Amino acid sequence: MNNSAETNNGLENFTRHYFRKIIQSFKDLHGNPHYLAMGMAIGVFVGMTPTFPLHTVIAVPLSHLARGSKRAAMLGVWISNPLTLPFCYYAAYKLGMWVMDKPSPFTTLNLKTVSDLLDLGIEIIAAMMLGGLILGGICGIAAYALTHHIARVTRA
C-alpha cells in the first residue's frame, strides 16, 4: 500500500471516530431537538465572535435566556478552538472590512492575546466584531439545522 492510500485510510478512520464521538455527545445531552439545537446555535454564534476568553461566559447566559441547552452552548463555542481561532478571526476581520468598505491595512493578523486585539484600534476591532456577528449568524443557523437533524435522528 502506498503512503497516499495509508494517509487516506488514516484520515477516514479518524473522521469516522470523530463523527461517532459527536453522535455520542448528542445522545448524552438531554432535551428535545429544538432545545439542543438552540443551545448549539448560540454557542456557535458566540464562538465566531472575537470574544475568545469570554465565549462560554457569554454563551451560557444567552442560551438560558433563549431557553436553549447550556451544555450544547458550551460545546458550540468550541468551533473556535486553538486550531481554528486564527482562521475564524481572520475571516471575521476580512468580512467586516469588506462590509464596511474599508481597505485592509494588512493581509495577516498575528493575535496571541486580547491585548494584541485591543492594540489594533477601534476600526479593526469593529470590523472583526461585525464580521464575527455575520459569520456567527450564518454558522449559527447552519448549526441549528444540523443539530436539530442529528438530535431528531439519534432520538428516533
The three cell numbers of residue 124 are: 479593526
| Reduced DSSP (H G I as helix, E B as strand, rest coil) percent helix, strand, coil of the chain, to 5 | 75, 0, 25
The three cell numbers of residue 1 are: 500500500
Q: What stretches of 29-121 show up as alpha helix (H) in DSSP?
A: 33-47, 55-65, 70-76, 85-99, 114-119
- The one-letter amino acid at 67: R
Is residue 76 predicted with pLDDT exceeding 60? yes
The three cell numbers of residue 35 are: 432545545
Q: Apex CA 106: angle with CA 102 and CA 107, to 5°?
A: 105
- At 49-60, the pLDDT tens digits run 988 888 889 999
The three cell numbers of residue 117 are: 486585539
Residue 126: CB atoms within 10 A of its CB come to 14
Rounded Cα distance, 70 and 64, in Å:
7
Predicted confidence at residue 38, as pLDDT, reads: 94
Given pLDDT bands bounded at 50, 70 and 90, which one contains residue 113?
Answer: low
